[in-house]
Copies of this chain bind each other. A is one copy, B any other.
């Protein structure tokens, strides 16, 4: 999604040429061909699917919505398995018509309903807490602390946490929650927070353009949670998408080396 203008074939070719070994694979990029064909594109370029993004969206207003969410989450697990992605990133969802506690109950139950299938296909469910500014309609799970509480309930064998700096950088309990999470943290997404932020969704910055201490958070995860897995650059930015993507890929790599 960071280099959104590129299709899957272009992405894999450009990433491989630049020495970027993996991709966070948004499901839109799988459309229009079979899973085997998509997998072959990745394999042909030696690109690893780091994660499949995204399923979740558990809160429901009726049984049909509940069933649709379950079915879509099962499909996502199948897609991840087919693409060789070790995890599906969960954006848990929220409905403004429901109370916070109801939204959160639906989410915990929704995740619990998937662990058996996740174990069957060998793909982990990565709960991504979203920034509290999305608590109304995108996710009622907003801190790593909440993820820990959910995992205490549903078990940690097939459920982990995707830590995205954009969502968690402000959290006064971050250190405490990361320590408590430990090996539950199975993903780290980096980007930056722009001042001012002109759009709540698509005005993220490259690492170093904003105020997030990306290196500090990386060191916290490595030092306090023993994190050694992939670090994914995830920048949604209308501004950067409008720029030349070849030059942008080079800026991403430099920004990563200097600030993460």
State the copy count for this chain: 2
| A158 to B11 CA separation, bound complex (whole angstroms) | 58
Chain B interface: which of A16-24, A132-140, A238-246? A132-140
Contact stretch, chosen from A28-36, A82-90, A117-125, A192-200: A192-200
Q: A169, A173, A195, A213: which has the most chain B beta carbons within 10 Å?
A: A195
How many angstroms between the C-alpha atoms of A225 and B30 in the bound complex?
A: 52
Quick check: is A131 within 8 A (CB to CB) of the other chain? yes
Residues of B within 8 A of A196 (CB): 137
- Asked if A210 CB lies within 8 Å of chain B CBs, one says yes
Known pairs A99-B216, A149-B172 / 12 extra A-B pairs, C-beta < 8 Å: A96-B195, A104-B172, A132-B132, A132-B133, A133-B133, A133-B197, A135-B169, A135-B170, A136-B193, A142-B172, A145-B172, A146-B172
For the complex, what is the distance from the CA of A131 to the CA of B146, rounded to whole Å? 17
7 pairs, CB–CB < 8 Å, chain A vs chain B = A97-B211, A133-B197, A135-B170, A136-B193, A142-B170, A142-B172, A145-B173
Q: Which residues of B contact A195 (CB under 8 A)?
A: 96, 136-137
CA A143 to CA B197, docked complex, whole Å: 21
List the B residue with the shortest CB-CB distance to A149.
B172
Any B CB within 8 A of the CB of A253: no
